[in-house]
Amino acid sequence: MKLRNVALIGFVITFWRLPCQAAESKTSWQAEWERTVQAAKKEGALSLYLLEGDGELGAVVQTFQKKFPEIKLVTTPGRGNTLAPRVMAERRAGKYLVDVYIAGATTAYEVFYRAKILNSVRAALLLPEVVDESKWWLGQHHYIDSDGQYIFVYVGNVGQYVSYHTKSVEPGEIRSHWDFLQSKWRGRILSRDPKISGSQRIGLRMFYHTPELGADFIRRLYGDMDVTITREIRQATDWLAHGKFAICFFCSEILKVKAQGLPVDEFQTAQWKESRTISAGNMGSVVMPSQPPHPNAARVFVNWLLSREGQMVFQRAANTPNNSEESLRIDVPKDMVRSEVRRVDGVKYLLVDKPEYIDMAPIYDIVEKALAQANKR
């Protein structure tokens, strides 16, 4: 009888402890979160460097500011090819001004990661819904660095990188990237310089790592097609809109210019069989530079940005008539993403912002040799 009583008491104690332990576990992360938020409020500010764009991230900034009014969010907008060098110049001068940096993944990798100036994003994640990798595409977090902790990718866009002058090209006559290499297009193709910051680096990685295209396509495009190279974003789009060139690789703001009534459009390359790739685009990665002025505010912002609420605000704001961004969180509705560039369930995509694909050196080498052969360098 005594043994039965002892067993019964043990059974009751065990089951009494289980909810208590769960409560302690829950309280543990909540307590740390509350401490972090309170510390962030004492810091009173957050310095966010981000892609300039057309104000797509403005709603993200405003929503965070309303949710945490005690943390004054100060933004510094710019383009990757100017903003990243600015950060490095500031640091060389002993000025550590950045808490969080949002832009494309390539710049973060080539400038910040290689300089070893980043804090771990993975270590900063705290909210259970953010830490839970099942909430993300393919059931995992996506980092482009081989350490798997510094450059968090939260966007997976099906990119379209080629546009055309609608009075010069019938879209139906081009159904594959290889069709751009027809002799009729020689001397009529424009490309933004592959070596400067922008979508061209993403597009070139897509070409290079797609089995149906690869190095041969890049080599023939830049070596055989008498391609004109420009570094000017607006000049490239203007030339295309006025028919100076029939086709443009990596022109920007095409849909915006089209909406103004000019004869330009994008090829629907996302529908082509050799275009099953996705990337972080120009605003789909976040990093936390070391020695931040407001470390707790940085942690609060990153956790909020990667939460379902933060990603819903981001996706709603970033999807405009001129732009599309698709969150890698699978619990965020995708109905606001344009159907022609929305990821399709069941399709196997290649994420070109993974560590094994991010290195641009071999691609630059192919492009430079091809351009030199064509007397373009």
Compute the distance between CA of residue 106 and CA of residue 358 in angstroms, rounded to an integer: 7
Q: Phi, psi at residue 322, to the nearest 5°?
A: -110, 0
Confidence at residue 158, expressed as pLDDT on a 0 to 100 scale: 85
Q: Per the structure block, which two tokens stand in for 201?
A: 């680096």
Q: By C-alpha distance, which of 11, 7, 371, 69 is closest to 223?
A: 371
Confidence at residue 145, expressed as pLDDT on a 0 to 100 scale: 94
pLDDT tens string for the chain (377 positions)?
A: 444 444 444 444 444 444 444 444 557 899 999 999 999 999 999 999 998 765 668 889 999 999 999 999 999 988 777 899 999 999 999 999 999 999 888 889 989 999 999 999 999 999 999 999 999 999 999 999 999 999 999 999 887 889 999 999 987 899 999 999 999 999 999 999 988 777 788 889 999 999 899 999 999 999 999 999 998 888 999 999 999 999 999 988 888 899 899 999 999 887 787 878 888 888 899 999 999 999 999 999 999 999 999 999 999 988 877 778 899 999 999 888 888 788 888 888 888 888 888 888 999 999 999 999 988 77
Confidence at residue 26, expressed as pLDDT on a 0 to 100 scale: 57
Confidence at residue 11, expressed as pLDDT on a 0 to 100 scale: 41
**Whole-prediction pTM value?**
0.83
Confidence at residue 53, expressed as pLDDT on a 0 to 100 scale: 64
E strand or H helix at 216:
helix 214-224
Task: Specify the fold of 30-155+281-343.
Answer: D-Maltodextrin-Binding Protein; domain 2 (3.40.190)
Compute the distance between CA of residue 102 and CA of residue 85 in angstroms, rounded to an integer: 14
* Other CB atoms within 10 Å distance of the CB of residue 82: 10
Confidence at residue 218, expressed as pLDDT on a 0 to 100 scale: 97
Task: For tokens 């004109």, name the residue.
Answer: 228
Sign, Cα dihedral of 77, 80, 81, 86: positive
Compute the distance between CA of residue 258 and CA of residue 179 in angstroms, rounded to an integer: 23
> What is each CA distance from 375 to 9, 97, 189, in whole angstroms?
87, 43, 16
Task: For tokens 């994003």, name the residue.
Answer: 121
Confidence at residue 302, expressed as pLDDT on a 0 to 100 scale: 98
Compute the distance between CA of residue 233 and CA of residue 58 in angstroms, rounded to an integer: 22
Confidence at residue 263, expressed as pLDDT on a 0 to 100 scale: 96
Confidence at residue 199, expressed as pLDDT on a 0 to 100 scale: 78
- The answer to whether the CB of 376 falls within 8 A of the CB of 190 is no
> What is each CA distance from 219 to 24, 66, 178, 207, in whole angstroms?
60, 51, 12, 11
Quick one: 12 exposed, middle or buried, by C-beta within 10 A (0-12, 13-18, 19+)? exposed
Give the bridge partners for 178, in sequence order.
Answer: none
Architecture of the 162-274+360-373 domain: 3-Layer(aba) Sandwich (3.40)
Residues 6+ apart with CB under 8 A from 141: 122, 133, 148, 152
- The answer to whether the CB of 343 falls within 8 A of the CB of 158 is yes
Confidence at residue 24, expressed as pLDDT on a 0 to 100 scale: 47
Confidence at residue 197, expressed as pLDDT on a 0 to 100 scale: 72
Task: For tokens 């929305």, name the residue.
Answer: 342
Confidence at residue 347, expressed as pLDDT on a 0 to 100 scale: 82
All CATH 3.40.190.10 domain ranges of the chain, comma separated, are: 30-155+281-343, 162-274+360-373
User: What three-state secondary structure class fits 235?
Assistant: helix
Compute the distance between CA of residue 170 and CA of residue 167 in angstroms, rounded to an integer: 8
Compute the distance between CA of residue 195 and CA of residue 363 in angstroms, rounded to an integer: 10
Confidence at residue 15, expressed as pLDDT on a 0 to 100 scale: 41
Q: Per the structure block, which two tokens stand in for 276?
A: 């099953």
Confidence at residue 240, expressed as pLDDT on a 0 to 100 scale: 96
Compute the distance between CA of residue 121 and CA of residue 295 in angstroms, rounded to an integer: 12
Confidence at residue 21, expressed as pLDDT on a 0 to 100 scale: 46
Q: By C-alpha distance, which of 289, 297, 304, 291 is closest to 42?
A: 297
- The answer to whether the CB of 103 falls within 8 A of the CB of 325 is no
